[in-house]
Chain A
Amino acid sequence: MVNRKKIEPFFYLLPAFIVMATITVYPFIYNVLLSFHEWNLTTFRGKHFVGGQNYLGIFRNPDVWNSLRVTGIYLVTCVGFEFILGLAIAFLIHSEFRGKAVVRGLLLFPMIMCPVIAGLIWRWIFNAEWGLANYMVNLIGLSGKPWLVKPRLALFSVILADIWQWTPFIVLIVLAGLQAIPEELIEASEVDGASWWQVQRYISLPTLKPVLLIGLLLRTIDGLRFVDKIFVMTYGGPGSATSVFGFFAYIRGFKFFQMGRTAALSIILLAIIIFLANVFIRLFRGAR
């Protein structure tokens, strides 16, 4: 009987372990080993061991540094704007007004759109000749711009598409956080003479801290994993102006077929993500 109790959990866990081992652990080990080999699928020379050369090559490659820089700019701008806008919108629509439910419903739609479709639609909006962006710009009386053709504008366009898709996510989590604040608390502080700012500063923000950290964690990870929109909006271009790290790795692997090099790139990206995730989770545990 005792014995049965001991093995009982494994009855529930075993399928998960088997699946985990075959579809994630085994490929991961395969990937790590691959990163120490050189293997180009376009040549007939098979896989051969090269030690840490792939990693050394990556650090010496200016294109890698460029893609890290692009990723950094992209990530900080996107997450920054999504948070500022998201917080502002959440505070704006938190209070009661007519049509609140409709606005909240509408906000769901961007973030559930297939990212690659969102990218395609935004590519069209930014089309220089017959896109909506230039139409709007002309309406205000400015001249249209070649959005996806100029390096800086292209990065801006991709960032805007991402802000469009993910700001609602921040709005929704902040709203969920705001709803968790007991109303009596706010009423009591107002009776005691606290101003709107003081209420937000000393009651709302501290309560929102864990929510914001979770949002930050998820948006950062997703930002680092991000490739879909780049794929259809700019394909990393013009030049390499929008070649974020994930996209850069994809091109190495599935356009140039440098398997070992790509494996090394993907492991570096994974390491960055795990490092950042751990930092945020520490912060989160502290905030709770």
Chain B
Amino acid sequence: MTISKEKMSAQHIWGVVRYFLVAIIVVFFSVPVVWTVLTSVKPDILIPKMPPSWWFRPTGEHYVSIFLEKHLGKALWNSFIIASVSTICSLAVGVPAAYAFSRFRIPGGENLAFYFLTSRMAPPISVILPLFLIFKTLHLIDTRVALIIAYMTFNFSFVIWMMRGFFNEIPKDLDESAMIEGCSRFGAFCKIVLPLTAPGIAASAVLCFIFSWNEFLFALILTNIEAKTLPVAAAGFITDRMVLWGKLCATSVVIYLPVMLFALLLRRYLVRGLTLGAIK
């Protein structure tokens, strides 16, 4: 009797301790996000206040100001166009290649697929330095095209690697039986295999979009004014004299919101995408 009572209370204590630990974890990982959102609707006078004010009348002034005075709309449009076009091009090139890697016996296929992956692992500086010099001679600096191409360097290898995994999950018999029924290989690919991998394609597309949307260094180097993207615009709120925290946080929320929605939609595929398909 006594033993089970002790065991009960030990379990009870562990339950309480666990909730306490979970609370600390939740606070640590969510405070910076909550702080950003709060500051984005905080009046300017309250922002540098210490101790911080957690309760106040929210204002939309920073959001109005970033779009009306700081012309963030243009950066938003640039970010959207660059991320979308780079994603679409990467899919157009990457999906058929991934299908080939999954279905055909290609000499050295495994090494080749891996070689595609190394271009994703390369340090940004080793990609951006030659691209910068090449784009400079082609007069492509500060254009959206330059960034679209630059983002394809990591996106299309990502698409190939991810989609190969998704195609491998679809039995080969399926396209073969379609071909016996009279479909061409390409017909089977378009009509049978592609629709079945639609969730995979959507997941890859969303992840490509997020990678491009969040990218900073390439955008910083390859753009000045015309093709500037959101992260670069956000960093621009740090000036030599002061940091415009309210505007910075409002911009951060604008950058963060679509990514958050995507992440919630695609929770199932997020781990798979971020581990390049290694963990399902």
User: How many residues of A sit at the interface, in one of the four size bands?
Assistant: 35 or more
Which residues does chain A contribute within 8 Å of B267, judged by CB atoms? 105, 108
CA distance A177 to B134 in the complex (A): 44
CA distance A54 to B264 in the complex (A): 48
Residue ID in chain B nearest A175 by CB atoms:
B271
Contact check, B260 vs A270: say whether CB atoms are below 8 A apart: no
Which residues does chain B contribute within 8 Å of A110, judged by CB atoms? 29, 32-33
Interface flag for B165 (CB, 8 Å): no
Q: Which of A148-156, A182-190, A225-233 contacts B (4 or more CB under 8 A)?
A: A225-233
Residue ID in chain B nearest A104 by CB atoms:
B267
Contact check, A116 vs B234: say whether CB atoms are below 8 A apart: yes
Contact check, A30 vs B275: say whether CB atoms are below 8 A apart: no
CA distance A12 to B189 in the complex (A): 11
Interface flag for B125 (CB, 8 Å): yes
Contact check, A172 vs B270: say whether CB atoms are below 8 A apart: yes
Known: A114-B216, A116-B234, A117-B255. A173 touches B124 (CB 8 A): no
Contact check, A113 vs B123: say whether CB atoms are below 8 A apart: no
Give residues of chain A (71-113) contacting chain B, Cβ–Cβ below 8 Å. Answer: 89, 92-93, 97, 99, 103, 105-113
Main secondary structure of the interface of B (DSSP, over half): helix
Contact check, B275 vs A218: say whether CB atoms are below 8 A apart: yes
Q: Which one, B25, B35, B134, B252, contacts A125 given CB within 8 A?
A: B35
Tally chain B residues at the interface, Cβ within 8 Å. Answer: 84
Interface flag for A211 (CB, 8 Å): yes
Which residues does chain A contribute within 8 Å of B123, judged by CB atoms? 224-225, 246, 249, 266, 269-270, 273
Interface 0/1 of B242-280, CB less than 8 Å to A:
010100110010011001101110010011001110111
Q: Which one, B52, B217, B234, B280, contacts A250 given CB within 8 A?
A: B217
Contact check, A273 vs B122: say whether CB atoms are below 8 A apart: yes
For this complex, 24 residue pairs linking A to B, each with C-beta atoms less than 8 Å apart, are: A13-B96, A20-B156, A24-B119, A27-B131, A92-B22, A93-B22, A112-B260, A113-B214, A116-B216, A116-B235, A117-B234, A117-B255, A125-B32, A164-B28, A169-B274, A173-B279, A218-B274, A225-B122, A231-B220, A232-B235, A249-B125, A253-B129, A265-B125, A269-B125
